[in-house]
Amino acid sequence: MRDNWVPISASKYSLFLKELHRKREESKSKEKIKSIKRQSLSKEERSLVLQKTDSRCHICGGEIEGIWEADHVLSHSKGGDHSIENYLPAHKICNNYRWDYLSEEFQEIMKLGIMLRTEIERETNLGNSVAEKFVKNEINRIKRRKKR
């Protein structure tokens, strides 16, 4: 974690993100080698997992009403096993955005997201151009989903 280190320039920060990306790809390919077939939870087990957080998503803290996933907190390759202790409930959307990233990367993504959220709310030049691009991406994402 970079608690005590602050990137000194935009290009250093970009390098830092690239390095994290590389580490993620590396750990993913290691995980594939070790991967054990994922077992699915029974209805009873899923209901126990949901009770652990009082029906809240462990990623965003929001209430779970519709579709949710049992998030495998510790992967098999890191010693996680197939017991309900190793699962927490998460919205499908939160889990999809979260699962692929290293925790270090996810912290950066949250910091960036929060900073950009403020820029967009204040309608700064940066905020406006990010919002424009983001809206375009969202429209395309929804169009792609409908085609399937």
Which positions touch Zn ion (CB under 5 A)? 57, 59-60, 62, 91, 94
Contact 45, 80 (CB under 8 A): no
Which residue minimizes CB distance to Zn ion? 57
Of 66 and 79, nearer to Zn ion (C-beta) is: 66
Alpha carbons 117 and 111: distance in angstroms, whole number: 10
Of 61 and 79, nearer to Zn ion (C-beta) is: 61
Structure tokens at 142: 């929804």
Of 13 and 101, nearer to Zn ion (C-beta) is: 101
Alpha carbons 109 and 87: distance in angstroms, whole number: 23
Task: State the residue for tokens 């993620």.
Answer: 24
User: What CA–CA distances, in Å, run from 64 to 43, 118, 125, 127?
Assistant: 16, 27, 36, 31
Of 17 and 93, nearer to Zn ion (C-beta) is: 93
